[in-house]
Amino acid sequence: MAEVVILDSRAAAGALVADEIVRLVDEVRNPVLGLATGSTPLPVYEALRERLAGHDVSHVRGFALDEYVGLDVTHPESYRSVITREVIEPLGLDPELIRVPNGALETVRHAGDDYEREIIDAGGVDLQILGIGTDGHIGFNEPGSSFASTTRLKTLTEQTRADNARFFDSLDEVPRHCITQGLGTILRARHLVLLAFGVAKAEAVAAALEGPVSAMIPASAVQLHPHVTVVVDEAAASRLELADYYRYSYENKPSWQGI
Ligand code: GLP
């Protein structure tokens, strides 16, 4: 069962996850972070700015979950640009060690396999940050995705395109395709940390954690993983049947246990 931590604010959630990441950076010889885009992980990256100041981060590797296909990497909304702006630059990470799937049309046929190999060569992901789409997607694994899937080309649903239109001038500009780590790729990370904030995510969070494991809710794949931490605010937790138990369990957690 995933550990579910219900907190008052996004800042508190960001701080909790950032503390765990700092521990990895300081204690693991070759830490590998799984990075997510979207608005959800921003409090984590913000909290990391001050926490990582003065720490040696030259050895930190990272792999982003996904990228748009056919959008120039220099476009401000390409996930390479977003990761550069939100993560690499503010945290002072080595851009060479932070990888994003290659969404260039010319190489997209083998870009998935190339990316899988890079993750394996790096020793796998230690901690994977995840957001969740309103339709229950993680990465860009839309409903119907195989639980065994690896990094590959996917078609975005109209709902996801509409959700992401806010980052572009118009809906027409939102790409129709993406390259995303598969659910199988994500499940190989050693620790999954799923974050969700706001009432718009409440239904997807409840379905993912308390509903049946189903390809219709790709995030329900987390039920198959042995080490999952879900960090949500009250609004995103509002549809969870077991919310009181999660609170009780977290409040009574032995102090020596991390997340
Ligand atoms: C995008 C990303 C996902 C992200 C999701 C939620 O589609 N590919 O990785 O989790 O949207 O976005 P947000 O965090 O902005 O709600």
Does the beta carbon of 40 lie inside 6 Å of ligand 1?
A: yes
* pLDDT for res 234: 98
Place 255 in a pLDDT band, splitting at 50, 70 and 90: confident
For a ligand 1 pocket test, name from 164, 186, 217 the mutation site with the most ligand atoms within 8 angstroms of its C-beta. Answer: 164
* Tens digit of each residue's pLDDT (9 = 90 or more) over 152-184: 999 999 988 998 999 999 999 999 999 999 999
* pLDDT at residue 1 is higher than 90: no
Hey, which residues are catalytic here?
A: 66, 135, 137, 142
Least confident stretch, 9-18, 111-120, 154-163 = 154-163
* pLDDT at residue 258 is higher than 90: no
pTM over 0.75: yes
* pLDDT for res 66: 98
What's the rounded mean pLDDT across residues 122-148? 97
Percent of the chain with pLDDT over 90: 96
* Tens digit of each residue's pLDDT (9 = 90 or more) over 35-79: 999 999 999 999 999 999 999 999 999 999 999 999 999 999 999
- How close is the Cα of 38 to the center of ligand 1, in Å? 4
Does the beta carbon of 136 lie inside 6 Å of ligand 1?
A: no
* pLDDT for res 27: 94
* pLDDT at residue 250 is higher than 90: yes
Cross-sheet strand order for the sheet of 98-99: 3-7, 228-233, 191-196, 127-130, 32-35, 61-64, 98-99
